[in-house]
Amino acid sequence: MVDDHAITVGGLEQVLRDHARFEVVGTSTSGLEAIGLARKLSPDLMVLDYAMPDVNGLDVFLEVSRWSPDTKTALVTGTSNTKLLHRLRDAGVHGLFQKSSDPTLLCAGFLRILAGESVTCPATAAQMREPHASANLSHREIEVLNCIADGLTNAKSADKLNISPKTVDSHRTALMRKLGVNSTASLLIRAVREGLIDIGK
């Protein structure tokens, strides 16, 4: 079990220890440490978060797959980024669950994974069925969105993109309409959620 929040690890560990079918053989709050543990222990199932400060969940999964190919992996994450969820599924992660999932659902899902199934919890499956917002945005709108994310004014965005401030404002208005928001803050939150901008860049 891997999550950079010790409280999350402790809570989920207790849920699994209370279930007669599971034995917790190791826990970690570090993605890098988890890779070493998986290599040493070769667990049947690895349960991990995506967002960790050293190595993200996808990279942990890919590395563990090299050293312990029989280990199944379940991502239990708080992300609502549909683009990322599809990326995780395409990479071959065996299970996708929300941190808000009911413990009974988690345990049932883990057992299905161990039985050879690929499992996506209902809430995550619903998110993944939503169309990507990026499909509706033009290249220029994406450029303007990134300028907004960088904190540039309309005038500075116009200088950077070699267009007029009025055109920048038109694109900003179009972005808000397409993403269904009515403020710059909401626009940025939705853009991060959809994977349109990267706050860690």
Are 12 and 76 spatial neighbours (Cβ–Cβ below 8 Å)? yes
- 79 dihedral zone (left: phi>0; alpha: psi -120 to 50; beta): beta
Amino acid residing at 30: S
Residue ranges and CATH numbers for the domains of the chain are 6-128 (3.40.50.2300), 133-193 (1.10.10.10)
**CA 73, 198, 52 angle in degrees (round to 5)?**
35
What is the residue-level pLDDT of the chain in tens, covering all 201 positions? 998 888 888 888 888 888 878 999 999 999 999 999 999 999 999 999 988 878 889 999 999 999 899 999 999 988 777 778 888 999 999 999 998 888 889 999 999 999 999 999 998 888 787 666 555 788 899 899 999 999 999 999 999 999 999 999 999 999 998 888 888 988 888 887 777 775 544
Enter the DSSP assignment of 28. Answer: B
pTM of the complete model: 0.66
Helix spans in 18-93 (H): 31-41, 57-67, 82-91
